[in-house]
Amino acid sequence: MAVYANREAFIPYTRSDIIKLCLQDGQLNETDAQKFQDFCKILIAYYHFRFHRTLETIKDNYVPFNPNADIQPITPPTFEQYDDMELNVVNSFEHIVERANYMPLPESIIKQALTTKSLIDLTTQVNFDDFDRFLCYYRGDNCKTILGKKLFFWKKEKIIDIFERIVLLVKFKEAAYFRAKKKKNQDLKFIPGKMYVYFYKNIPKLDVDLLFPNVETSMTWKDRLLFGIPAIGSAIPLILRTLPNLLLLVAAIFIVLNVPFLVESLNVDLEQVRNVMPVLVATLSLTITLGGFAFKQYTNYKNKKIKFQKYVTDTLFFKNLANNASVFQMFIELAEEEECKEIILVYYHLLTSPTPLNPQQLDDHIETWMENKLGTTINFDIQGPLDNLENIHGQVVQNSKITDDSLEIPLLTYDHQGACQVLPLDDAKAVIDYVWDNVFRYNGIIL
């Protein structure tokens, strides 16, 4: 099967549209078309139940790690149970994002984002030692053209690399770690020991670092110079204006210290120095002037920092799709959709193919069919749906009697040449119906 570096396995259509596309293909007569729809309907119901079980596992195990939890377990977990619950959440998370056709984000891209600026002109730092673990997945590695500022009112088009969707899971270390670093909980932007999950859209590849909850931002050297040079320019005439008062104050200090030769070197009026009132006025004037200047510069710095933080917040706010527990719910639905679309496409093309197809031929056939029908190029994930069809076993019931001596048969098998074979529609409907009817058994076994 062909491997494409610039294609992804994600199918950008709903499963309802995929079913309609198969029916419009003209390969099924009216009777078989109805049977195919019935097969798809119960298949979707079955996989909805399977992924619901995964969601329940996540919900039960995420409680002690949820930073937004408003419920508490009756019995707090032991250390062993705590570790097992964390592992259950992480393993389930990895399962659903991979089934939703998301790919792991290389660590090299995150490190590159820390040293390179994209849209937001900030210096960033992320301390990865704060995490017990972090996972990042993405889908849709594309380019986007934007208008960026160049000089004053002039704007210039700029092409940037973006991730259409990106999901991040981070588990912070416990409070003892941060206490050892002399950090107070109230000063942190997160809760130690908790697990944060974020889901975003259209994030520039070089701004991925801004998604981390412990990211620290600061001005670039360019911004520091633009801030510092005007401050120095304003300070020089201010110092020149306050210099007489400053000399008067220094002379008064020298008299108190009984070093008259230093007083003479300052070339100030000794009568003014010995008179308390001019000295007090000079001190007060100097304090107000320099204090006011310092406060103004500090306020300017804080305002600039707030402006940067607001820009980051506004940018991420409108790109946020979900946080924490709601992310799991969204990905359950995404994974369920992708799984069903892949299985339906595989079953349909094996059912209607005039010649036997091996996995490689089937993979190429589906990719070509999608491109011809919709103009969509994908790198179809063939092995996943083949395994799923092979693992669905059931019994075929005809005239109220079970065929094949009560043996359970799979929806998909392979012949001696390695070609894939699926059950005809009537038998496939019977098998999936049998599986659905026997999801719960009297002894609690789930197929």
In the block, residue with structure tokens 């009817």: 437
Q: Nearest-5° angle of CA 103, CA 107, CA 109?
A: 85
Which has more confidence, 156 or 197? 197
Closest CA to 422 of 41, 39, 139: 39
User: What is the β-pairing status of strands 195-204 and 320-323?
Assistant: antiparallel
pLDDT of residue 412: 95
pLDDT of residue 446: 41
What number is the average pLDDT over the span 143-158? Answer: 63
In the block, residue with structure tokens 């076993």: 393
| CA dihedral sign of residues 110, 116, 122, 123 | positive
Kindly give the interhelix angle for 79-99 and 30-62, rounded to the nearest 10 degrees.
150
pLDDT tens digits for 288-341? 655 665 666 667 666 666 766 776 677 677 899 999 999 999 999 999 999 999
pLDDT of residue 240: 53
What is the Cα–Cα distance from 246 to 48, expressed in whole angstroms?
Answer: 79
pLDDT of residue 104: 94
Which has more confidence, 161 or 236? 161
Kindly give the interhelix angle for 30-62 and 425-437, rounded to the nearest 10 degrees.
30
Which has more confidence, 109 or 419? 419
What is the Cα–Cα distance from 56 to 376, expressed in whole angstroms?
Answer: 35
Residue 144 and residue 176 in contact, taking contact as beta carbons nearer than 8 Å: no
Confidence band, pLDDT 50/70/90 cuts, at residue 447: very low
In the block, residue with structure tokens 């994030």: 203
Which has more confidence, 7 or 364? 364
